[in-house]
Amino acid sequence: GQQLNQSPQSMFIQEGEDVSMNCTSSSIFNTWLWYKQDPGEGPVLLIALYKAGELTSNGRLTAQFGITRKDSFLNISASIPSDVGIYFCAGRKAHRDDKIIFGKGTRLHILP
């Protein structure tokens, strides 16, 4: 089935560094969602975006809904050890469309 192209697949950074990851698709989406998944747990919603161009922050996290509606990015500023995990982007083609499509995830590692 259709997937979102999420990059990078993995990142190794130093604590305190900023992080940026993105998702792109050949299709237009009406909703972009960013989730974080810790090992052995379900994904937790970080940020939801509903409008093209929308820029939303949640603490040190900032995400934007691309103006073309085909992409979104997530930035994490001043990374800390608890930011380690897998970040998934997800898109929905219509507000009433319950089915969401996931990217393959970006695995974030923080070097000691």
Partner 1 sequence: GAVVSQHPSWVICKSGTSVKIECRSLDFQATTMFWYRQFPKQSLMLMATSNEGSKATYEQGVEKDKFLINHASLTLSTLTVTSAHPEDSSFYICSARREALSTIYFGEGSWLTVV
**Nearest-10 Cα torsion for 39, 63, 34, 86:** -20
User: Which DSSP letter does residue 77 get?
Assistant: -
The span from the CA of 72 to the CA of 112, in Å, is 29
Which listed range, 16-24, 35-43, 54-62, 72-80, lies at the site for partner 1 (CB under 8 A)?
35-43
Contact (Cβ atoms closer than 8 angstroms) between residue 50 and residue 44: no
Q: With respect to partner 1, which residue has the nearer C-beta, 14 or 98?
A: 98
User: Which DSSP letter does residue 25 get?
Assistant: -
- The verdict on 1 binding partner 1 (CB under 8 A) reads yes
| Residues numbered 72-101 forming contacts with partner 1, rule: CB under 8 A | 88, 95, 98-100
38 to 77: interface string for partner 1, x by CB under 8 A: --xxxxxx--x-x---------------------------
Backbone angles phi, psi at 6, to 5 degrees: -110, 135
Which residues of this chain interact with partner 1, rule CB under 8 A? 1, 3, 31, 33, 35, 40-45, 48, 50, 88, 95, 98-100, 102-105, 107
